[in-house]
């Protein structure tokens, strides 16, 4: 790692390689993901009812986080694939943003589970708890907690390395900030604390909603069990996101053995643990949520169904008017 950081000769990094199928597949997946997310963010911004609902605000935050994270991660993946030399200062900024956004999504998912818990188990207090002021405080807490590991890694890197390292070039990846073993161990401890706290909250909300579902009347059982399935999907999504937080340690070990093997491992980690869990949020709210699905369908088809429906209704009305019009027969 240190030898890679200290290299300042650009020609020692760049490794010309033809455009591979793996890189092309990733770009197609990223393009589809960003297109779907853009449509959903646009749908969220166009509807006031979504902008005032806590669950949709949290959903929009996950879309924003995941989109920015995916773009930055895709750039670093391409840089690793071609071993493109990057100045250290921009690399540090990108790595800090990746760590920050990577932690923000799991915390937002946990908050979404808590919101479902309040809506199902404390319906009378839901409106008071999910007000505008509490939403802003909650979002601030999410972003603050998410930044802890990111800035610990950044300041730890700056503290243990000489200042001239910022003038060097490097193949940019999150492992660059972990110069010594203790830095990786400290980051691992913080991530384990995150993992334990999030798992406890997820299990707590699932059990509470399950108990509420069993005690609910027949009219409320459907919506309660739907919320239960939503929490279960968030738990699976959270598991994949938290697993992705541990993949850098596998990649560090592989990079010490063979750099090309490291590139292949990073590629599969990118597909399985970065793209896959971030496709579940659109599935949960874009397809399972009827209200959001109808709005998304309208904007996806540019309002064409409503126009065709209006034209059809007008034509049908005209036909009825013709049929009911009295006939005048000339004598």
Query: Do 267 and 242 touch, CB atoms closer than 8 A?
Result: no
pLDDT average, residue stretch 205-232 = 75
Query: Do 70 and 281 touch, CB atoms closer than 8 A?
Result: no
pLDDT higher than 50, residue 2: no
Burial of residue 73, with CB atoms counted within 10 A of its CB: 0-12 exposed, 13-18 middle, 19 or more buried: buried
Mean pLDDT, the chain, integer: 78
Residues 63-80: tens digit of each pLDDT:
899 899 989 988 888 887
Query: Do 194 and 115 touch, CB atoms closer than 8 A?
Result: no
List, in sequence order, every residue forming a beta bridge with 170; answer none if it has no partner. Answer: 86
pLDDT higher than 90, residue 144: yes
- The reported pTM is 0.78
Lowest mean pLDDT among 18-22, 54-58, 178-182: 18-22
User: Which pLDDT score is estimated for 322?
Assistant: 52
Q: Domain extents for the chain?
A: 21-305
Is 21-305 assigned to CATH 1.20.1070.10? yes
Residues 247-305: tens digit of each pLDDT:
767 777 777 787 778 777 877 887 887 777 777 767 766 677 778 888 888 777 655 44
């Amino acid at each position: 790692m240190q030898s890679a950081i200290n290299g300042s000769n650009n020609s020692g990094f760049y490794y010309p390689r033809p455009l591979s199928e793996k890189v092309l597949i990733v770009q197609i997946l990223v393009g589809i993901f960003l297109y779907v997310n853009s449509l959903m963010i646009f749908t969220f911004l166009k509807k006031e009812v979504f902008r005032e609902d806590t669950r949709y605000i949290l959903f929009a935050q996950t879309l924003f986080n995941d989109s920015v994270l995916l773009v930055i991660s895709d750039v670093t993946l391409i840089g690793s694939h071609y071993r493109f030399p990057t100045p250290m200062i921009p690399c540090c900024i990108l790595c800090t943003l990746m760590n920050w956004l990577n932690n923000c999504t799991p915390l937002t998912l946990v908050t979404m589970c808590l919101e479902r818990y309040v809506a199902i188990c404390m319906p009378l207090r839901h409106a008071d708890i999910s007000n505008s002021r509490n939403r802003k405080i909650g979002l601030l807490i999410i972003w603050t907690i998410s930044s802890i590991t990111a800035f610990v890694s950044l300041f730890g890197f700056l503290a243990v390395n000489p200042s001239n390292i910022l003038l060097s070039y490097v193949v940019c990846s999150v492992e660059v900030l972990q110069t010594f073993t203790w830095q990786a161990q400290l980051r691992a401890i913080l991530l384990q604390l995150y993992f334990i706290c999030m798992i406890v909250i997820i299990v707590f909300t699932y059990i509470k909603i399950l108990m509420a579902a069993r005690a609910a009347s027949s009219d409320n059982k459907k919506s309660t069990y739907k919320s239960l399935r939503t929490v279960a999907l968030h738990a699976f999504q959270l598991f994949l996101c938290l697993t992705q937080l541990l993949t850098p340690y596998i990649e560090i070990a592989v990079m010490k053995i063979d750099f090309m093997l490291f590139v292949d491992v990073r590629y599969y980690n990118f597909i399985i643990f970065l793209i896959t869990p971030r496709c579940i949020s659109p599935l949960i709210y874009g397809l399972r949520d009827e209200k959001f699905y109808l709005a998304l369908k309208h904007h996806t088809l540019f309002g064409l169904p409503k126009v065709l429906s209006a034209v059809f209704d007008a034509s049908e009305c005209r036909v009825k008017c013709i049929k009911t019009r009295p006939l005048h027969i000339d004598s």
